[in-house]
A and B are shown apart, each in its own frame.
Chain A
Amino acid sequence: MNLKYSDDEIAFRATAREWLSANVPSTPRPAPGEAAVEFDRAWQRTLHRGGWAGVNWPKEYGGLGLSDLKQVIWYEELAKARAPHHINSSYVALMHAGPTLIACGTPEQKAFHLPKILSGEALWCQGFSEPNAGSDLAALKTRGDVRDDCIVVNGSKIWTSGAQHSDYQELLVRTEPGSSRHRGLSWMICDMRTPGIEIRPIRTMLGDEHVSMVFYNDVCIPRSNVVGEIGKGWSVAMSTLSFERGIGFIGDQLDLAERVDRAIELARHTRLECGRIAIEDDGIRERLAAIKAETLAIKAMTLAQICENSRAATPGPKGSLLKLIVTNTHKALCELMAEILGWSFLEYDGSRENHPWTYDYLWSWVFSISGGTSEIQREITADRLLGLPRAR
């Protein structure tokens, strides 16, 4: 075992650090809304111009094709430079839609969509979950009626992040009448300006409307927008799993380490209600230290997973463990900050800029519920890592 970086990796870190220090925006991201979306597009343009768009995309499709370890380095440097958070308006396009097209798209689809994703010109959202098909995605019912030249979609999707601002949507619908579960589904590119689409934003406990319901009323999608074969949409949806190689949350993992250090710093300057400086309270110090220990372990787990992935054809199930520990630790840190900040934690105007710790605390549930709930991650662990008898 060793923790050594190669000369190439060391040089890469220096290059990334230098570029980031010169290019990270000096103004903070505006509150969610049109201005925030424009901020995200501008940042993506900056990344693209600087040659940093698509860090995990193959070079032949305009990305950097970075090794897993270099991606870790890149995200570490992003966190250190306090760069805009990578989970922004471009996230779905860069980390999900684009990789799906790379894995399963036609040359025409790739040629049209991929460059627009990299440059920030096109934003994507995801149309998978439905009111009765969340964890159990295969229960989805939105149907696509296959005609000669188009597919007519009727139904609804929910929890669509950024629907109001997206140009395209990855849409998974049931195209084979009478089919059930994973069979008979199709994955298609939905232009969000197509007539018949109604977007209803959902106000969340954070006070924003970052997710929506989307209703489809006889929405005609050209057959040329189908990715993969009609009826084989499930395997298209699963294709990104092997692409991501299990390190999809890498940015969050490393970001957490930076935030713990900021929390410790804050504790040195904040007085508790009793008048003592927070860091002088043994209980608070121990809890901060326990969280710090977890964040160190998260990085160690990330590095260990990279090693194991590099030796296996398909990524192992330990990505589930990473999501669990990241989301658990995130919430624990925010809960501790509630104690340290006292009354000021209970002031909240809906803005992350003004109330970062309260906002992040409310985000804990988005984190532990979206992208596979903690309960599902435990199910995956029980099935695939431990080989326990199936519960479902």
Chain B
Amino acid sequence: MFLSAKGNDSEVAQVASDTLNSLMPMSGIHGRTGGQGLAADVRGQLADQGWYTLAVHESGDAGAYTVVDAALFYREVGRIAGPVDILNQCLAAAALHGTRAGDDVAAGKFSVALAVEGGSQRGATLRVIGGGERPDIVILVTRDRVRVLQTAATPTQPIAPLDAVTSMRWLQSDKVEVLRESDDARLWRFGQVATAAMLAGIAEATLDMIVQYAKVRETFGRPIGSYQAVRHPCADMALRVEAARCQLWYAAAALDERHADADIHLRAAKHLNNVAAVRNADSNIQLHGGIGVTDEHYAHFYLKHALLLSRLFGSSRTVLQQLVPNS
């Protein structure tokens, strides 16, 4: 029995953190906005390290990454408000595994957008997120269906996104080719783990941000971190992080060990991380005062990204209704 990120698994987290911080440091976040998605060269460099194969094999197969590995990786992605595109790549590489297209996705040659169910307002138009201006592949993942589409450079229309680090577009789906269709529930679970983990990273990063600031910023002659009006909300943020993160590790380990109740734990983890990220991002802005509201400061990026991630792969309303079913 071991439930901590400081064990033998920690190497994945360290490598991921080093890579992501060198490829997309927070200092460059303003340059990552505006719908570009994942720049092609960065996409390629992440591919070179094999990160898009995280979901390709079933956990437990020889040489496969575990669900815990995925959780540790995506937590690091969340810490730097990394784009959803990174998840899209993994999902498509797994869904297309065994095909030439799958190899190309894993190698970082294609950009991948995620179609979100219920987002379409115009019949054959899909709302897609990530993938940049011209996504090569679109993947739709629900609890009981996976569908991969080749867009063949179908034009898209931009949507101005609240979450500036995530591209959002309308795509005409009547002219696309279906590459693969399946009912693999594993990819839905993978998406749920990955988004929960990214949210965990956001919950942590926003706590770290305000704690650092509170130690140095002074008012009324003292650091703001010496006032209980700041200390106690920070303590509440720390509690959210601890509860949501521990439940994430539990859910990931339960999936790796094929526990019968793994889905219950995963839903709880998604809900707790939804709340932890949004509440912590909220408190982080509030406790920074005026500068927290500026565009220049990073705080708002975390909030807006958390709002988007909390809607993907199980909003709280959805997973809570599943946790306590009506019958």
- Bits for B193-232, please: 1 = Cβ < 8 Å to A, else 0: 0000000000000000001001100000011011110111
| A157 CB-CB contact with B under 8 Å | no
Binds B, one of A29-37, A52-60, A138-146, A285-293: A285-293
B297 interface residue (CB < 8 Å to A): no
Residues of chain A contacted by B225 (CB below 8 angstroms): 382, 388-389
Q: How far is the CB of A330 from chain B (nearest CB, A)?
A: 14
Is the interface on chain B under 10, 10 to 19, 20 to 34, or 35 or more residues?
35 or more
Residues of chain A contacted by B324 (CB below 8 angstroms): 264, 279, 285-286, 288-289, 292
B239 close to A (CB within 8 Å):
yes
Residues in B with CB closer than 8 Å to A205 are none
In whole angstroms, what is the CA distance A126 to B164 when docked? 57
**Contact of A293 with B268 in the complex, beta carbons under 8 Å:** yes
Report the minimum CB–CB distance from A187 to chain B (whole Å): 30
Within 8 Å CB of A280, what residues of B? 326
A269 within 8 A of B: no
Asked if B257 and A2 sit within 8 Å, CB to CB, the answer is: yes
Pick from A325, A381, A389: contact of B223, CB under 8 Å:
A389
Give complex CA distance A5, B234 in Å. Answer: 35
Q: From residue B60, how far is it (CB to closest CB) to chain A in Å?
A: 12
Minimum Cβ distance to chain A for residue B208 (Å): 9
Note all chain B residues with C-beta closer than 8 A to A297.
Answer: 243-244, 246-247, 268, 272
CB-defined contacts of A279 to chain B, threshold 8 Å: 324, 326
A303 touches which of B9, B68, B250, B256 (Cβ 8 Å): B250
Assembly CA distance A280 to B319 (angstroms) = 16
Residues on B with C-beta less than 8 A from A377 are: 235
Q: Is the CB of A388 within 8 A of B231?
A: yes
Query: How close is A292's CB to chain B, nearest CB, in angstroms?
Result: 6
B264 within 8 A of A: yes
CB-based nearest A residue for B216: A389
Q: Is the CB of A389 within 8 A of B321?
A: no
Beyond A292-B268, A296-B268, A297-B243, whether A386 also contacts B235 by CB under 8 A is: yes
Q: Give A301 to B268 CA distance when docked, in angstroms.
A: 13
* Cβ contact within 8 Å between A307 and B317: no
Cα A279 to Cα B234 in complex, Å, equals 35
Confirm or deny: B145 has a beta carbon within 8 angstroms of a beta carbon on chain A: no
Query: Is B259 engaged at the interface, CB distance under 8 Å to the other chain?
Result: yes
A382 x B243 contact (CB < 8 A)? no
CA of A325 to CA of B245, assembled, Å: 14
Which of A3, A301, A381 interacts with B235 by CB under 8 Å?
A381
Closest residue of chain B to A294, judged by CB?
Answer: B243
Name B319's closest neighbour in chain A (CB-CB).
A289
Is there an interface contact between B271 and A290, defined as CB atoms closer than 8 Å? yes
- Are B242 and A3 neighbours in the complex by a CB distance under 8 Å? no
A388 with B234: CB separation less than 8 A: yes
List the 8 closest A-B pairs by CB distance, nearest first: A293-B268, A378-B235, A382-B231, A289-B320, A289-B323, A300-B246, A381-B235, A388-B225
25 pairs of residues in contact across A and B, judged by CB atoms under 8 Å: A1-B249, A1-B252, A3-B257, A282-B321, A285-B324, A289-B271, A292-B324, A293-B267, A293-B268, A296-B265, A303-B1, A303-B246, A304-B4, A307-B4, A308-B4, A324-B235, A325-B243, A375-B232, A379-B235, A388-B215, A388-B225, A388-B226, A389-B214, A389-B222, A390-B226
B residues near A (Cβ < 8 Å) are 1-7, 9, 68, 211, 214-215, 222-223, 225-228, 230-232, 234-236, 238-239, 242-244, 246-247, 249-250, 252-254, 256-257, 259, 264-265, 267-268, 271-272, 316-317, 319-321, 323-324, 326
